[in-house]
Structure 1
Amino acid sequence: MAKRAAPEVNAGSMADIAFLLLIFFLVTTTIETDTGINRKLPPMDDNQEDVIIKQKNIFTVLVNGKDELLVEDERMNLKDLRKAAVEFLDNGGDGTCDYCHGKKDPASSDNPDKAIISLKNARETSYKMYVSVQNELVAAYNELRDKRAMSLYGKTFTEMQADYDNVNWVGNKERLKEKIEKIKEEYPQKLSEVQ
């Protein structure tokens, strides 16, 4: 019986095919990037003048290494933080804020423009707790902005932001931007992180 020779496989174009597959996967693959917490730093001020801030206008929030929350030197649960921040920001203690609905306590913040939330975290604080505290504080600002926008424009601030970010929104973007900026001016987000 005659031996049959095995047919040779033409491997000449294998390198070309592998190279084309490599290029295809490099082009079509998306690489996810981590996104952090969105914070905008204040612009550098050439004027190095010291600003005096009254202690009553600072809302201190401390998170220790055991993930315990201290607000104004008192222990607090995370679920109560938003309410306490809203009460502080919306106090209107000096009477200059005609849109504030707070208790008008003279020992608390004067008005939302002067109110500052100071957040300090211990080095051992867990990332989960850090983000949770940040979320509650930002939610306090958003809650006040939503209430104010609803009373002025019949629409929440969050909805207005979504409309402005929506490319297909058919309304007047410039007018909407003015409304958003007005609400941001009335309730400016002054969140300071202390080292």
Structure 2
Amino acid sequence: MAKTKTRDRMNNEINAGSMADIAFLLLIFFLVTTTIAEDKGILVKLPPWSDEEPDITKLKERNVFSVLVNAQNQLLVREEPARIGELRERAKEFIMNPSKRPDLAEGPRNAIISLKNDRGTNYETYLAVYNELKGAYDELWDELSERRYGQPYSDEMPFAQRKAIRDEIPMVLSEAEPTNFGEEQ
């Protein structure tokens, strides 16, 4: 057997010139084929931007349904402790005021729901509270639509019918700036 010389060992190298091309092609392939998941959130229509100072009018206390969520995820509705499970029915009763109580809203057009949370509030709790308040309006719109048009409120309804329902029961959900972590309202 012939012995290999050190000169022959030096010539045994791998040609890596095309490795950069292959890596670049793989990068392009993965960028093109990867789908990026879009974050889903709460669809809220924001008011248009205005440089004017807001008109601060004195609201009647009876027309404001205040909902506060603290850092311990406890709920305070109109200064009384409450559970999330009873929030929807209380909001519906407040908005419609079927028994004409003096401590509830004067009418659906005057009802304002104010939601305020702490920065330490769990996101799940915030969403649960928001969903219950939004659900109250959805149920009220369905009930009114059934009475008037014989069908539930939906996007398939003519625009004029949906507008008439929303004009009679407008959704006024005011979200206040969250308080600092652990700060009581």
Report the TM-score, using the length of structure 1 for normalisation: 0.75
1:50 to 49, 56, 61: 56
Aligned: 1:190 with 2:185: no
User: Residue 37 of structure 2 aligns to a residue in which SS?
Assistant: coil
User: Residue 158 of structure 2 aligns to a residue in which SS?
Assistant: helix
User: Residue 178 of structure 1 aligns to a residue in which SS?
Assistant: helix
- Residue by residue, what CA displacement relative to the aligned partner does 1:11-44 show, whole Å, maximum 9, x if unpaired? 6655444333321221121112323322222234
CA distance in 1: counterparts of 2:145 and 2:54, whole angstroms: 35
User: Residue 37 of structure 1 aligns to a residue in which SS?
Assistant: coil
CA distance in 1: counterparts of 2:61 and 2:67, whole angstroms: 13
Aligned: 1:26 with 2:31: yes
Q: How many residue pairs were aligned?
A: 171
Could you tell me which residue of structure 2 aligns to residue 179 of structure 1? Answer: 161
Could you tell me which residue of structure 1 aligns to residue 85 of structure 2? Answer: 79
Could you tell me which residue of structure 1 aligns to residue 71 of structure 2? Answer: 65
Q: How does 1:2-21 map to 2 (within 5 A)?
A: 14-21=19-26
| Structure 2: runs of 5 or more not aligned | 4-12, 178-185
- Residue 132 of structure 1 deviates from its aligned partner by 0.9
Aligned: 1:152 with 2:134: no
> Match of 1:61, as an amino acid?
V
- Residue 87 of structure 1 deviates from its aligned partner by 0.3
Q: Which deviates more, 183-192 or 48-57? A: 48-57
Report the TM-score, using the length of structure 2 for normalisation: 0.78
CA distance in 2: counterparts of 1:39 and 1:53, whole angstroms: 23
Percent identity, please: 49
Distance 1:2 1:150, change over 3 A: farther
| Structure 1: runs of 5 or more not aligned | 92-101, 164-174
Choose between structure 1 and 2 for higher RCO, CA contacts under 8 A separated by at least 6 residues: 2
Could you tell me which residue of structure 1 aligns to residue 122 of structure 2? Answer: 126
Structure with the greater alpha carbon radius of gyration: 2
